[in-house]
Amino acid sequence: MNDIEERKNALREEFGYFGSPEERFEYIISKTKGAEPLCESLKTEQYLVRGCVSNLWLVPEIREGKCVFKADADSVITKGVARLVCDMYSGLSPRGVLDFDCEFLSEIGISQYLSPNRRNGLSKLCEKIADFAKKNLEK
């Protein structure tokens, strides 16, 4: 089994316990409590994700050939979903990031329960992650 399938299975198991969308989002939000916020110096235009209702920042980097993503937002739901997405992709190679479709979040009951504006923000976040991975395929 490859790393992407292992991650998908882990997320299916993690979110399979919740019977309602409310429970899923309470869980996602609870995971952001106590998490280290992004340094204020990184909350700049350069890292801002356009198209999101709230302010959302994505800081991507490559470490030892693997993508690492950090995010923060001024909305707890946006912050929680963004951190879930960052955890989903961090540690994968650029090729792995591109092979792991963000649509998977529907399978575990996340994206379809977001408001249209938040879904748009999620889409923009995933686009920004994919763009970063594409730019780093050759490196």
CATH for the stretch 3-38+48-135: 3.90.1010.10
Spatial CA neighbour of 82 closest among 122, 51, 44? 122
Instruction: Note the pLDDT of residue 1.
Output: 56
pTM of the entire predicted model: 0.92
52, 67, 102, 126: which is the annotated catalytic residue? 52
Task: Determine whether 52 is an active site residue.
Answer: yes
- Ordered by start, the domain boundaries in the chain are 3-38+48-135
Copy the structure tokens of residue 65.
């050939």
Give the model's pLDDT for residue 53.
83
In tens, the pLDDT along 11-68 reads: 999 998 898 989 999 999 998 887 788 999 999 999 999 988 899 999 999 999 999 9
* pLDDT digits 0-9 by tens, 77-131: 999 999 999 999 999 999 999 999 888 999 898 888 888 888 899 999 999 999 9
- Please state, in angstroms and rounded to a whole number, the distance separating the CA atoms of residues 28 and 138: 34
